[in-house]
Amino acid sequence: MVGSTTAKIFDFPRNAWYVAAWDYEVGRKPLARTIAGQPMALFRTEDGAPIALADACWHRLAPLSMGTLVGRDEIQCPYHGLRYDSAGRCTSMPAQETINPSARVPAFATVDRFRYVWVWPGDAELADPDLIPDMHQMTDAAWTGDGELIHAPCNYQLVLDNLMDLTHEEFVHSSSIGQAELSESDFLTSHTDRTVTVERWMRDIEPPPFWLKNMRDRFPGFSGRVDRWQIIHFEAPSTIRIDVGVAEAGTGAPEVDRSRGVNGYVMNTITPETDRSCLYFWSFQRNYRLESQLITTQLRNGVHNVFGEDERMLAAQQAAIDANPGYEFYSLNIDAGGMWVRRILDGLLAAEGRSAVAPPTSAPSASVA
């Protein structure tokens, strides 16, 4: 055990980019989403620009997401018809000629990138698009894949914990990607002020069913042992890309040569909604057999089933946390990556003048065997 940290994990940074929706979800019909506690109405202008306004009318707080779009870039409140432009300024009050100059709703910075619509729920002055986490495998021509959105009934930090320590695969996903070597193998943890990396190699092992199928998709008839890798890349506040794969054992994958293997990236970005719910966007990208829609669909459906097992565990964990208020988590060596994530989130909260996560009682190891 390397320390303990509190289970009071209910706040989230607001000066940060979060994914609000897949790009195709935002169109000319307003979409309601809550991002870091802020209800928003999302839509696109006729030019295709994504817009995010507070989902509460200036007049009597009716949800604008229940309204309709008018003209090139205006949204009309469904209750008494006030209209707002894409900057949130009121442009029309049907029952009077004079528009109250204070009539406006907050507008949030948005960016279309990596097949997602990103929003910045905090101070728009600080919304630097260069801070959007790297998810280039979503759109790079060398990669293909597809994913889904899980509306997870738990605090987003529980999902981050889940992804930063993959030894749970042995127990939660025993029929697909789990195997005993996950818990038995060494791993290395490193970090910067916005990133955490956890790297694990399992050499000369039997491939679990998921990876044997993928090897045979690329190398028909493959049998034998493999070298397997999981390299977890966290980037603040809540994006985790996991470089995963297997290669024929002893062909050089741990050094540099992955040509005798199959490589995927599990792309995860988790958006806090409330303190007990989050929007979990994932996709499985691969860099082989790019032409095969069959493999894309099979991988998406396979990962859907795997992540369904995680969702059930996370919902049960959140229920147990609620039933045990004030309980302090204990941390093991396997939690080193997750503890660095919490430290980074703590720093982001402190920079906003808030603190919701008590610091660990002792530092996790930078390198753990």
In angstroms, give the least distance from the CB of 100 to ligand FES: 12
Q: Which one among 23, 27, 45, 59 touches ligand FES, defined by CB under 6 A?
A: 59
Any idea which residue has 């279309």 for tokens?
A: 112
Contact pattern from residue 62 through residue 101 relative to ligand FES, giving x for each residue in contact according to CB under 6 A and a dash for the rest:
x--------------x-xxxx-------------------
The DSSP call for residue 66 is G
Q: Of 6-14, 54-62, 108-116, 325-333, which segment contacts ligand FES by CB under 6 A?
A: 54-62
Q: Which is nearer to ligand FES, 77 or 244 (CB)?
A: 77
Q: Which is nearer to ligand FES, 90 or 266 (CB)?
A: 90
Neighbours of 275 (CB within 10 A): 18
What proportions of the chain, in percent to the nearest 5, are helix, strand and coil? 25, 35, 40
Rounded alpha-carbon distances, angstroms, from residue 346 to 11, 160, 210: 10, 14, 36
Q: Does 40 bind ligand FES (CB under 6 A)?
A: no
Rounded alpha-carbon distances, angstroms, from residue 45 to 17, 62, 87, 144, 289: 21, 21, 11, 29, 37
Closest Cα partner for 341 from 95, 156, 83? 156
Encoded amino acid at 264, one letter: G
Q: Does 60 bind ligand FES (CB under 6 A)?
A: yes
Closest Cα partner for 160 from 348, 343, 366? 343
Q: Which is nearer to ligand FES, 30 or 145 (CB)?
A: 30
In angstroms, give the least distance from the CB of 325 to ligand FES: 37
Q: Which is nearer to ligand FES, 77 or 314 (CB)?
A: 77
Q: Of 44-52, 59-67, 300-308, 310-318, which segment contacts ligand FES by CB under 6 A?
A: 59-67
Q: Which is nearer to ligand FES, 82 or 242 (CB)?
A: 82
Q: Environment class of residue 358 by beta-carbon count within 10 Å: exposed (0-12), middle (13-18) or buried (19+)? A: middle
Largest CA distance in the chain: 78
In angstroms, give the least distance from the CB of 57 to ligand FES: 3
Half-sphere CA count of 139, side-chain side, radius 13 A: 10
Q: Of 24-32, 56-64, 149-157, 226-234, which segment contacts ligand FES by CB under 6 A?
A: 56-64
Contact pattern from residue 291 through residue 310 relative to ligand FES, giving x for each residue in contact according to CB under 6 A and a dash for the rest:
--------------------
Q: Which is nearer to ligand FES, 63 or 250 (CB)?
A: 63
Helix (H, G, I), strand (E, B) or coil at 110: strand
CA dihedral of residues 58, 63, 65, 66 (deg, nearest 10): -120
Closest Cα partner for 329 from 343, 317, 341, 344? 317
In angstroms, give the least distance from the CB of 78 to ligand FES: 7
In angstroms, give the least distance from the CB of 96 to ligand FES: 11
Q: Does 244 bind ligand FES (CB under 6 A)?
A: no
Q: Which is nearer to ligand FES, 52 or 240 (CB)?
A: 52
In angstroms, give the least distance from the CB of 107 to ligand FES: 16
What whole-number distance in Å separates Cα of residue 256 and Cα of residue 241? 19
Q: Which is nearer to ligand FES, 77 or 339 (CB)?
A: 77
The DSSP call for residue 125 is G
In angstroms, give the least distance from the CB of 60 to ligand FES: 4
What whole-number distance in Å separates Cα of residue 282 and Cα of residue 116? 11
What whole-number distance in Å separates Cα of residue 248 and Cα of residue 203? 10
Q: Which is nearer to ligand FES, 77 or 344 (CB)?
A: 77
Q: Which residues would be at the binding site for ligand FES (CB under 6 A)? A: 57, 59-60, 62, 77, 79-82
